Structure 1
Amino acid sequence: MPRVECEFCQRHIAAGMVAGRPRKGRLWQHDPTERPELFGDALVSCAGSLAIVDVPGSGAQMELVEVDEQADEALVGPLGTMALF
């Protein structure tokens, strides 16, 4: 998953994709950096947790690449199958 800087704690947090919204992601829930000093043992999340943010590089259109005919023939296996990756 791509990592995006949280606007509250300035840490890089993983952002999962949001369905139906290309180039948008939801930050994973995370603890604030000053949690032990301010909150003790209480479970407190950063104010930026679960925020919807712009995700760089996602939602881009895939590009078609020219394939050499001879190289393509080498990928065909003995049963007529072809390697996908």
Structure 2
Amino acid sequence: MKMPRVECEFCQRRIAAGMVAGRPSKGRLWRHDPTERPEIFGDALVSCPGSLAIVDLPTPGAQLEFVEGDEGPADEERADPLGTLALF
């Protein structure tokens, strides 16, 4: 499954975000290292402060919106060629 990428607010990199259960428009950034890790921290494993942050996902998690269309008047009765009435 391809996950959407969202910009981390701390390191400004685009990181994959997995969906959060029960919140379709929110995602959790995957754990990632800061860009300056080798120079500052050496071989120690250090996560970026933005790792695992909950962020807004791009549009795929948005709810479907209904738009009113031009359907014509609803009171108009259709002439049935067989002369029968609709039961439902």
Is TM more than 0.5 here? yes
Query: 2 CA distance for matches of 1:48 and 1:26?
Result: 10
Larger radius of gyration: 2
Aligned to 1:73: none
SS of 1:23's equivalent in the other structure is: strand
In 1, Cα distance between the equivalents of 2:60 and 2:20? 11
Q: Which runs of 4+ in 1 moved over 6 A?
A: none
Q: 2:46 — aligned with what?
A: 44
Identity, in percent, stands at 86
Pairing partner for 2:37 from 35, 50, 53: 35
Tell me how far apart the structure 1 counterparts of residues 19 and 34 of structure 2 sit (CA, whole Å).
Answer: 22
- 1:40-61 per-residue CA deviation (whole Å, 9 max, x = no partner) reads 0000000000000000112234
Q: Which amino acid aligns with 1:11?
A: R
RMSD: 1.4
Structure 1 segments unaligned to the other structure (5+ residues): 64-85
Q: Which runs of 5+ in 2 are unaligned?
A: 66-88
Partner of residue 57 from structure 2, selected from 55, 58, 65: 55
TM-score by length of 2: 0.67
